[in-house]
Structure 1
Amino acid sequence: MITPEQKFQQVAQHNGFADNPAQHQAIGVLNQVFLSVVKNLKKKSCFLFARYFAVKGVYLWGGVGRGKTCLMDVFYQCLPEGCALRVHFYQWMQSVHQLLENNIGRKNPVDYVADQFARKYRVICLDEFLVSDITDAMILYRFLRRLFYRGVTLITTSNTPPDDLYKGGLQRERFIPAIALIKSHMKITRLDHDRDYRYWSDQLSWAFFHPLNAQSQKGMRHIFFMLTGHQVTQADREKILICRRDMLAQCVCAQAGWFLFTTLCEEACGNNDYIELAERFRVLLVEGVPVMDDNRAGATRRFIWLVDICYDCKVKLILSAEVSLGKLYNGVLLQEEFQRTISRVYEMQSWIMNKKPV
């Protein structure tokens, strides 16, 4: 059995990671939790009627690009197969809401759905824990309380300290007990240092074009041809079926799709649309990303969701924009979320250097 500490050393050596005390401290905390979880699982397998003793989880938070997801993935990969779930927070909440909807007529549906997760998984790893939706905020206390009661260990990454979760949200006072639960059932571990590792790449020019002019359009066409071998023309425009409705694509070739920002982020698209796009395409080109601010909060949030889903699904994302990446958002409401988006776009551009045809 390999431990997270040992696994992380292997990953760090293989990828040439610089030595970082904050990461070492965080992986040490995860390693302790891992050993306790494995000990619990062994007791349960030896004694049929033994109960699980609650193992405190980890709430790993810090600035964008600090390696939180990498550390959580190392922890998850070391766990015995089948005992844990690893998922992005927004996808998890989608599945929770769907299960609740399927069990509307049942007594205490929140407890019932939480019990379903607890029966299947001893550990749940949630990437990018961020509460911005009131429907999520209103059920999280009861849901987390039931998971912890059932002995589930929760591991999360977040850019936000627990006390700032859902800050400024509607009816936040009803969410405060969820924060108290997190602080009492999880080890709050900060991972922060001066470097955002995602920015340490000189490949941005390969897949981010600005401003919106003929040169940018030429660059988009060139990289589409480089990846697919297809020359784009206006005749390539077609409607494709996404989530049982038509969506206009500028071009679709093999596993690459070219779309306008207005189509993906200013129309009534949601996470399910982006998930289906990410499942269908290995490369997405998004043309015409404008400067965003609080007056375009809806489009901004959809763009954040799109980037998150492409990142999580390892989809290559190519953008043409009105201004440089760091100047795309001038608002206040979504500033924290958009910093993560910028960091992720930087990292994703390096994926384009793998210029295999799609």
Structure 2
Amino acid sequence: MTSTQSNGAVAEAYAALVARGVLTVDPAQREAVELLDDVLAGLAADKPKGLLGKLFDSKTEPVRGLYLHGEVGRGKTMLMDLFFAAAAIEGKRRVHFHEFMDEIHAGMAAFRKSEKGKDADPVEAVVKPILKSGLRLLCLDEMHVHDITNAMLLSRLFEKLFAGGVTVVTTSNVLPDQLYKDGLNRQLFLPFIALLKQHMTVAALPAAQDYRRLKFAGQHVYAFGTDASVRAEMDRLWLRITGGEPGVPGTVKSTGRSIAVPLTALGSARFGFADLCEKPLGSRDFVRIAHQFDSLIIDDVPQMDRSMSNAAKRFILLIDNLYDRGVKLGASFAVPLEELGKDDKTAFEFGRTVSRLIEMQSEDYLGQGLRDTATPVA
């Protein structure tokens, strides 16, 4: 390992978590931290060009990014959290890979319907405002290519982003060479893999343990009742999955608005039932939440009778999306699971929800990684 940064901002943030007992030092994570600090050092040294510079130099070589790959639960998302927070630059964005691609497709579709879209290049049209916004750093969570529409677009899209000087840092469960493996017309996808290797350092994260599995090992993730001991049990579970971090308020961006998150820490979020199911949220919002966090705690889930039909429908949608994604759930319920749904209008759907809730507390479910699901177009 050769690195110019031994005490960079990411290393300091990582060391602070270790000092507080939130993390145990992992050599593979430490190496990844150094590589992330190298990217930060490059960005700090690379001064953005002014207007005249951009006019006379249409192509800008970006600072070399990082492609960090490894199995689930190894800490990739946590390291991305530290990196993104430490990147003290304007023009940075972090987004789930599938969400980003959905935005690109939506922008291209809108452009094709416009008057200008008859003859012009739709990829150029969607990239131009991205570059004009001043984007310098694009952080993409969970790059995974299984859709032929994305596969055929990526090379042209990223060629323009890199040419515009955008540095890309991404996490993935697979090596670049395994992206779109056995996909239709994969030979047309190979230039994208070459492009990634040209502009990004490829690094593995072979961490010693599945940290996500350790968070929930041997834990009772549900509590029942309404007294103070139930809240205390959820407090203990929250501190268990966050490594003792109390958490801070956060937000989830969805369909042009922000969803308030009462507490977030280390890829986990804590909500009250009312925060999610008694507000005008829908399936798209719940998908966004499921992609942003790997673990959720929901406090104070009530028994839902006919007077709570709308809240019950949202709860059903929420659990469906968390289950499909493989998000780990801790929750406190006022009554046993079999007694949650007391509305005959939602009885059938609620039966499936209860079945999923039962499965979601099992060791088998808690030991699985997140599933790759696409996000809806905003």
Q: Give the TM-score of the pair, scaled to structure 1.
A: 0.63
Deviations 1:160-191 (A, max 9, x none): 11000111222222211111111111000111
| 1:99-248 mapped onto 2 (5 Å cutoff) | 99-104=107-112, 105=114, 106=117, 107-120=120-133, 121-202=135-216, 205-207=219-221, 222=225
Residue from 243, 249, 254 that aligns with 2:274: 254
Q: Distance in 2 between matches of 1:155 and 1:67?
A: 15
1:274 matched to 2:287: yes
Q: Whole-Å Cα distance in 1 between the matches of residues 171 and 291 of structure 2? A: 22
Amino acid across the alignment from 2:357 = L
Name the counterpart of 2:240.
none
2:101 is matched with: 93
Q: Count residues with an aligned counterpart.
A: 267
Distance 1:127 1:277, change over 3 A: closer
Q: CA RMSD in A?
A: 3.9
Matching of residue 11 in structure 1 with residue 17 in structure 2? yes
Aligned to 1:37: 43
The verdict on how the C-alpha distance between 1:278 and 1:26 changes in structure 2, with shifts beyond 3 A counting, is closer
Question: Can you give the 5+ residue segments of structure 1 that lack an aligned partner in the other structure?
Answer: 209-218, 228-242, 244-251, 259-268, 286-301, 329-337, 343-358
Shift of 1:115: 2.4
Residues 15, 99 of structure 1: alpha-carbon distance in 2 compared, 3 angstrom cutoff: farther
SS of the residue aligned with 1:340? coil
Residues 81/184 of structure 1: CA separation in 2 closer, same or farther (3 Å cut) = closer
**1:53–1:151 Cα contact (<8 Å) kept:** yes
SS at match of 2:20: helix
- Worse-superposed segment, 17-26 or 317-326: 317-326
1:254 Cα shift? 2.1
Q: TM-score, normalised by structure 2?
A: 0.60
Is 1:25 aligned to 2:38, yes or no?
no
Residues 99-118 of structure 1, C-alpha deviations (whole Å, 9 max, x = no match)? 11111143111122122222
Gaps of 5+ in 2: 1-6, 232-254, 256-271, 302-319, 333-355, 372-378
TM superposition shift of 1:200:
1.4
- The percent of aligned pairs where both chains have the same amino acid is 30
User: Do 1:86 and 1:126's aligned partners in 2 also have CA atoms closer than 8 Å?
Assistant: yes
Conservation of the 8 A alpha-carbon contact between 1:59 and 1:188: yes
Displacement of 1:2: 6.6
Instruction: State the alpha-carbon separation in 2 of the partners of residues 277 and 60 from structure 1.
Output: 21
The aligned counterpart of 1:60 is 68
- Is 2:74–2:206's contact at 8 Å kept on the other side of the alignment? yes
- CA shift, 1:278, in A, is 9.2
* Helix, strand or coil at the partner of 1:156: strand
Deviation at 1:303, TM superposition (A): 5.8
Paired with 1:139 and 1:68, the residues of 2 have a C-alpha distance of 26
